Structure 1
Amino acid sequence: MSKPTDPAYHWNGAELDLDAYLARIGFDGERAPTVETLRKLVRAHTTSIPFENLEILLDRPILLDLKSLQDKLVRRRRGGYCYEQVGLFAAALERLGFGVTGLSARVTMGASEGVRPATHALLRVTTADDDRVWLCDVGFGSGPLEPYELSTETGEFTAGEWRFRLEHTTDELDGDLWVLHQFGRDGWIDRYTFPMTPQYRIDFAVGNHFVSTSPRSPFTTRPYVQRFLPDVHRVIDGVTMVTDRPDGTAETRLIEPSDLPKILSEEFDIDLTDADATALAAGSWRTT
């Protein structure tokens, strides 16, 4: 059966300003659909573009069309959450000739009760020089810094100094289900589960609507910002700032809303306009 040709199944890579995107993430390697290029792209993107939900708190929609993504994440050098980052990264991979398929994951983070919605986006990627299948997760905010192989043999792996583990299991209908675990301040926890069901831009648009508008979404109630680097992971969650390190140690401190713009600029590489900085620092989101 031939692959879908309807543009709705693809990622609009032809519309991407590839030079601007690669300059944004500091990539100057070979522009070829190889494993080595994929590794360098994932690392460059993950460590260059922060995770953030600030547009929601500033009462603006999260737009997923490629023009809006390029304007926000590339031209204005802002960050975004998974649907934004994955949409931009998928367009770049498609433009470079990689095989790209969207996937959705259920974020668990160690929770043992209830079924959470599938609201995290990641990518299944293939290359021209290798038969292996890779998972790329540039939009979770905490790595991995590299693609990881989709294989029952993968098990525990490191990306830089950060530790992860991939587990293969089955769902209630005996279909393939994969679990990504990560090591951090609470030891090993399951991060999310995902099947191999292809997801398209329209599916990500539905998930994006929920996480950006629902009162049940954590992203509609407080700032949630992350900056992930090879040796440190910084997180703002409301008025708490956490600094995590690969060995599982962490530091936590409270911050004032009035300090947010300065912290965002100095620690997260997010520079807001004066109007947005004033609105965020006012802390009106604390009453929601």
Structure 2
Amino acid sequence: MTWDIEKLDLDAYLNRIGHDGPRTPTAETLRAIHLGHVRSIPFENLDVLLGRGILLDLGSLQDKLVTGGRGGYCHEHNLLFAAALERLGFPVTRHLARIRLGRRHLPRSHATLTVRAGGRTWLADVGFGGEGLVEPIPFEEGASLESGAWRWRLGRDEEFWVLSSEETELYAFRADEPQLPSDFEVANFYVANSPHSPFVRHVLAQRTTADARIRLEGMTFSGAGELAGWLRDELGISLTEQDARALLPLLPP
């Protein structure tokens, strides 16, 4: 696996996220594309629960997230996003982070990015789900960000940079440890296959709007058709009734 950014159909990607503004590699463009991506491409792990592999080559990412009417999880989102940014001229470094959420020393399983723009480095992450970033935050100790009803801050814990939302530490990583394509393949295999991974045990599906996180939780459906329609209308996820039928018994109560 290589990054293969030249395989990205940049026009199709920008159309998918609704970006028709400038393509110059500025901080303003970075923010606009980050927001557009988060609000346009849902976070979901449905293919994991349907027993399908998660492929990280750019052709597969494009087929699924850009033209296939689907979303994905962090590796899919942020590797696609990184390719688009690099095609636009942004210097990007890909990282693997350790999820915290009340715990420490978990494996490096989360994909995130740092990006240079406007004379600064930014932490950019369109694929955390949950209470993840909706726009970039300056990659500086003590940086804070407010967007709509949500707030984040970036701090240090010895050699680790730590992103927090409100009072919750989301993840931590070392900025001096950029990762290779093979590292993402290993982390992605763990996320999609390990019995210790939450992605193999729970249905996760979310769409972020300007002021809300819409999630597939706490609902019941009369059948596969109703579930498929809700995913399409509320989250922007195109799923066949056959796939929706397979997911019904896996939905949280």
TM-score of the superposition, structure 2-length normalised? 0.92
CA deviation map 1:73-119 (0-9, x unaligned): 011110000000011101101111110111111111123xx521111
Equivalent residue number for residue 246 of structure 2: 279
* One-letter amino acid of the structure 2 residue matched with residue 133 of structure 1: T
SS at match of 1:71: helix
Equivalent residue number for residue 146 of structure 2: 158
SS at match of 2:153: strand
- State whether structure 2 residue 101 is matched by structure 1 residue 122: no
Q: Is residue 42–residue 70 contact of structure 2 (8 Å, CA) maintained in 1? A: yes
Between Structure 1 and Structure 2, whose CA radius of gyration is higher?
1
SS at match of 1:125: strand
| CA drift at 1:158 | 0.7
**2-structure distance, mates of 1:117, 1:256:** 35
- State whether structure 2 residue 50 is matched by structure 1 residue 58: yes
- State whether structure 2 residue 188 is matched by structure 1 residue 208: yes
Equivalent residue number for residue 180 of structure 1: 163
Equivalent residue number for residue 255 of structure 1: 220
* One-letter amino acid of the structure 2 residue matched with residue 105 of structure 1: A
CA deviation map 1:223-274 (0-9, x unaligned): 11111122101223xxxx2xxxxxxxxxxx3435845323322221112123
Equivalent residue number for residue 145 of structure 1: 134
SS at match of 1:21: helix
**1-structure distance, mates of 2:148, 2:25:** 22
Equivalent residue number for residue 199 of structure 1: 179
Q: Is residue 100–residue 123 contact of structure 1 (8 Å, CA) maintained in 2? A: yes
Q: Is residue 228–residue 241 contact of structure 2 (8 Å, CA) maintained in 1? A: no
Q: Is residue 16–residue 92 contact of structure 1 (8 Å, CA) maintained in 2? A: yes
| CA drift at 1:27 | 0.4
- Between the two proteins, what is the percent identity of the paired residues? 47
Equivalent residue number for residue 11 of structure 2: 19
Q: Is residue 261–residue 280 contact of structure 1 (8 Å, CA) maintained in 2? A: no
- State whether structure 2 residue 228 is matched by structure 1 residue 228: no
SS at match of 2:210: coil
Q: Is residue 13–residue 93 contact of structure 1 (8 Å, CA) maintained in 2? A: no
Equivalent residue number for residue 268 of structure 1: 235
SS at match of 1:106: strand
Count matched residues: 247
Unaligned ranges ≥5, structure 1: 1-6, 171-175, 242-252
| CA drift at 1:178 | 1.0
**2-structure distance, mates of 1:159, 1:119:** 26
Q: Is residue 101–residue 171 contact of structure 2 (8 Å, CA) maintained in 1? A: yes
Q: Is residue 124–residue 134 contact of structure 1 (8 Å, CA) maintained in 2? A: yes
**2-structure distance, mates of 1:77, 1:95:** 22
Equivalent residue number for residue 95 of structure 2: 103
| CA drift at 1:169 | 2.5
Mean Cα deviation higher: 272-281 or 218-227: 272-281
C-alpha RMSD of matched pairs (Å): 1.8
Unaligned ranges ≥5, structure 2: none
TM-score of the superposition, structure 1-length normalised? 0.81
**2-structure distance, mates of 1:27, 1:209:** 32
CA deviation map 1:147-195 (0-9, x unaligned): 11111241x321233111111231xxxxx31111112xxxx11111111
- State whether structure 2 residue 131 is matched by structure 1 residue 135: no
